[in-house]
C-alpha cells in the first residue's frame, strides 16, 4: 500500500510537470542549463558545503548530553543518512545514521535516533514557518492567499508540540505525553526506542539553555544558507529574482518533498519547484532549467559523498543487524553513557 501511495504521488507530480512543460522547448531548456553562470554555480556548491557543516555541528550539540562527539565522527553517518534518504525518498536514512554513530561512539542507538527525529521536527517547524513568512512577503495569486494562514497555523502547532517536552511547562498538561504510552507500546521495538530517545533528546535540548541556544541558532543558520542557495541558483539560471522569492521556492520545495515519492524525489521536487515559480510569474525554459539545476544540487552532492562514505565504512546488507547487536552489548556493559 505504501509503495502504491509513493507511485501515485510521484505520478501526480510528473503530471504537473508535463502540464507545466507544454510549449517549452527542450532544446531551449538545454541551452539555458549549459549557459548557467558558473560563478553562481560554484557559490551554490559552497553553500551546500556550508549547510552540511552546519548540520554536523548542530548534531554534535544535540549529542552533548550523552557525549562530546567530534565532527569527524558525525560527518560520515550524516552524509550516508542523507544518501539513503535521497535514494529511497523516505526518512529511512535516520536508521544508518543512528547505528553508525552508536558503533563509533557507544552512545545508545535509541538516544541517537531520538536526536535525528528531533532534528526532523525542528527542520519541519522552521521550514513551515519560512514558507508562511515568505508567502506574506511574495506577491501571490488571490487563490493562494488562504495558504498563508494555514502554514502559520501549522507552524504554531509544531512549536507547541516541541515545547510540550519542556519540564514544568503548562503545555505538558495540555499535551499529556504520558497518555501516549499505550499507543507507543503497540509499535515495533525500534520505534519504541526511537520515541524514548526522542523524548530524552527533546527534554535535554529544551531544558539546557546553552544547548537550546546553540541548536536553535544553528537550525536557523542552516535554513538561511539553504535559502541563499536556492536564490543563488536562480541567478545562475538567469532568473531576475529576490532573496525572498528564492526563500519561497526553497520553503515549499522542502515542505512537499517530505511526502514519500519515487527515488530521488522524481516528480514531486520538480513539480513543486515549477509550481512555486509559476505562482510568482516565472515560467518558460529558464524556470525549467532552474528546476533541473536545483534538483541536481539537492540530490547529487550528498548522494555521491554519502555513497563514498558508505563504501569506506564497509556497509553491507547484514551490517545493520550486527551493528545493533554490538550497540546493545556495549550499552549493557555500561559503555556510551559518559558525559562530556
Sequence-distant (≥ 6) Cβ neighbours of residue 318 within 8 angstroms: none
Report how many helices (DSSP H) and strands (DSSP E) the chain contains, helices first.
15, 0
Q: Which three cell numbers stand for residue 52?
A: 552540511
Does residue 333 form part of some domain?
no
- HEC per residue, 166-217: CCCCCHHHHCCHHHHHHHHCCCCHHHHHHHHHHHHHHHHHHCCHHHHHHHHH
Alpha-carbon distance of 221 to 227, in angstroms, equals 10
Domain of 39 in residue numbering reads as 2-324
Beta carbons of 277 and 249 less than 8 angstroms apart: yes
Does residue 212 form part of some domain?
yes
Does residue 265 form part of some domain?
yes
The pTM of this model reads 0.78
> What three-state secondary structure class fits 65?
coil
Does residue 21 form part of some domain?
yes
Residue with cell 561512539: 105
How many residues belong to the chain?
A: 340
Residue with cell 515568505: 134
CA distances 151 to 123, 133, 145, 155, 274, Å, are 14, 9, 11, 6, 20
The count of structural domains within the chain is: 1
Does residue 336 form part of some domain?
no
Does residue 224 form part of some domain?
yes
Does residue 329 form part of some domain?
no
Please report, in tens digits, the pLDDT of each residue of the chain (340 residues total): 545 555 555 555 556 555 555 555 566 667 767 778 899 999 999 999 999 999 999 999 888 878 888 998 999 999 998 888 888 777 677 888 888 888 888 888 778 887 888 888 889 888 888 888 888 888 877 777 788 888 888 888 888 777 766 654 544 555 555 555 566 566 666 666 666 666 766 666 677 778 788 888 999 999 999 999 999 999 998 888 889 889 989 988 888 776 666 677 777 777 788 888 888 888 777 888 888 889 889 888 999 998 888 888 777 544 544 454 444 444 444 443 333 2
Beta carbons of 312 and 269 less than 8 angstroms apart: no
- Rg of the chain taking only CA atoms, in angstroms: 21
Does residue 269 form part of some domain?
yes
Exposed e or buried b per residue across 121-159, where buried means at least 16 C-beta atoms within 10 angstroms of its C-beta: ebbbbbbbbbbbbbbeebebeeeeeeebeebbebbeebb
Amino acid at each position: 500500500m505504501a509503495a502504491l501511495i509513493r507511485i501515485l504521488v510521484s505520478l501526480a507530480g510528473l503530471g504537473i510537470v508535463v502540464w507545466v512543460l507544454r510549449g517549452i522547448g527542450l532544446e531551449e531548456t538545454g541551452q539555458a542549463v549549459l549557459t548557467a553562470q558558473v560563478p553562481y554555480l560554484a557559490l551554490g556548491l559552497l553553500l551546500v558545503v556550508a549547510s552540511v557543516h552546519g548540520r554536523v555541528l548542530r548534531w554534535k550539540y544535540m549529542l552533548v548530553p550523552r557525549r562530546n562527539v567530534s565532527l569527524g565522527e558525525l560527518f560520515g553517518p550524516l552524509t550516508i543518512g542523507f544518501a539513503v534518504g535521497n535514494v529511497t525518498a523516505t526518512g529511512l536514512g535516520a536508521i544508518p545514521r543512528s547505528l553508525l554513530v552508536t558503533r563509533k561512539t557507544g552512545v545508545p542507538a535509541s538516544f541517537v535516533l531520538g536526536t535525528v527525529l528531533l532534528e526532523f521536527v525542528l527542520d519541519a517547524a522552521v521550514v513551515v514557518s519560512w514558507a508562511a513568512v515568505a508567502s506574506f512577503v511574495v506577491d501571490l495569486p488571490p487563490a493562494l492567499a488562504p495558504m498563508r494562514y494555514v502554514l502559520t497555523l501549522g507552524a504554531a502547532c509544531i512549536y507547541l508540540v516541541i515545547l510540550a517536552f519542556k519540564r514544568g511547562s503548562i503545555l505538558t498538561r495540555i499535551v499529556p505525553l504520558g497518555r501516549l504510552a499505550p499507543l507507543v507500546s503497540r509499535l515495533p521495538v525500534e520505534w519504541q526506542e526511537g520515541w524514548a530517545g526522542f523524548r530524552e533528546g527533546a527534554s535535554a535540548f529544551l531544558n539546557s539553555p546553552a544547548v537550546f541556544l546553540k541548536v536553535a541558532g544553528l537550525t536557523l543558520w542552516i535554513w538561511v544558507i539553504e535559502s541563499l542557495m536556492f536564490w543563488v541558483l536562480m541567478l545562475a539560471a538567469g532568473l531576475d529574482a529576490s532573496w525572498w522569492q528564492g526563500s519561497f521556492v526553497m520553503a515549499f520545495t522542502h515542505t512537499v518533498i517530505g511526502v514519500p515519492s519515487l527515488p530521488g524525489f522524481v516528480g514531486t521536487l520538480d513539480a513543486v519547484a515549477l509550481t512555486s515559480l509559476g505562482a510568482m510569474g516565472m515560467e518558460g525554459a529558464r524556470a525549467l532549467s532552474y528546476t533541473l539545476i536545483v534538483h541536481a544540487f539537492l540530490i547529487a552532492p550528498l548522494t555521491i559523498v554519502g555513497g563514498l562514505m558508505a563504501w569506506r565504512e564497509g556497509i553491507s546488507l547484514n551490517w545493520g543487524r550486527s551493528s545493533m547487536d554490538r550497540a546493545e552489548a556495549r550499552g549493557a556493559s555500561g559503555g556510551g553513557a559518559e558525559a562530556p
